[in-house]
Amino acid sequence: MRLYYLDERESARHHVRSALGVDGERWNDLFRDVRAWRQELRKRYDISPAAELLPLDLLGPREEPGGGRDGWVSPEEGADIFRGGLRLLEEAACRAGGIELINVCLEKGARGRTDEVSLGRLLTRINTSAAGASRHAFLIFDQVREEPITRLYRRLRVHNPIPSRHEVWGDGSPVRNIPLARIIGGPAFRSAGDDHLLQLAGFVACALLLQEQGVGAGGADLDLEHAFSTLNRVLNREASRRDRQGVVRR
């Protein structure tokens, strides 16, 4: 079994979805790495391991409180924490494998319901990756928009028309129905505040969005538009052979 943690981010122009996939036998190892990282953040910045790490909070400008740190970090420190979470995933994948990232980034307005289309693209790639590894997949989402996510998943379990990369499939048809047979159990929903891996999936989606849209004045000094390039071996490039980072863009 492979567990996938899915999160999304969007701007005025782009809708990004990221999935962090972890093989069941690698889950405990990754969890130990994340727990050790969160303990280090508590020592260095007084950030409780129970606190939810939100990229916008870490990277946005804030005034320092007058009475001690109490988990406060500067934007520079927040950027280091942000990049550290991405490095954790990359190093875990390099060390023992069994971890992958699948990413979708669509421009808004080009294909109707971008949020629904992006989710369909992501679920299809998860299904393909699980099938290629002779595994099944289980999906874990943040507790937002449960009804439309569940509705789309149920539809794609039955009817998921996929166009051929080469105009037609081997049987001559331009579209083939490839249901999400490898994704089982239905999507589960958890609070990201209680799930460190969901938070890291959010880090990945945010890093990709920053790469695509760039950053404004002040943020450019933190080199955030290059944070996504921290990821290399952990990226599933088979998700889109058209893109050097494997990002699905159409």
* Locus of tokens 């081997």: 170
* Locus of tokens 């727990």: 35
Rounded Cα distance, 83 and 65, in Å: 24
Please say whether the beta carbons of 156 and 179 come within 8 A: yes
160 residue type, one letter: N
Please say whether the beta carbons of 123 and 183 come within 8 A: yes
Average pLDDT value over all residues in the chain: 90
> What pLDDT does 66 receive?
45
The arithmetic mean of pLDDT across residues 66-86, rounded, is 82
Rounded Cα distance, 22 and 76, in Å: 30
> What pLDDT does 214 receive?
80
Residue 91 has pLDDT above 60, yes or no: yes
> What pLDDT does 68 receive?
44
Parallel, antiparallel, or unpaired for β 161-163 and 137-142?
A: unpaired
CB burial readout 22-49, b (16+ within 10 A) else e:
bbeebbebbeeebeebbeebeeebebee
Residue 109 has pLDDT above 80, yes or no: no
Please say whether the beta carbons of 56 and 219 come within 8 A: no
> What pLDDT does 175 receive?
82
Residue 219 has pLDDT above 60, yes or no: no
> What pLDDT does 218 receive?
46
Find the range with the poorest average confidence among 32-41, 54-63, 224-233.
Answer: 54-63
> What pLDDT does 6 receive?
98
The C-alpha torsion from 180 through 183 and 188 to 194, rounded to 10°, is -130
Residue 190's DSSP bridge partners are 142
The arithmetic mean of pLDDT across residues 177-184, rounded, is 94
Count other Cβ atoms within 10 Å, centred on residue 225.
16
Please say whether the beta carbons of 3 and 136 come within 8 A: no
Find the range with the poorest average confidence among 140-154, 175-189, 203-217.
Answer: 203-217
Collapsed DSSP state (helix, strand, coil) of residue 107: strand
Rounded Cα distance, 81 and 38, in Å: 10
Parallel, antiparallel, or unpaired for β 2-10 and 137-142?
A: parallel
Collapsed DSSP state (helix, strand, coil) of residue 154: helix
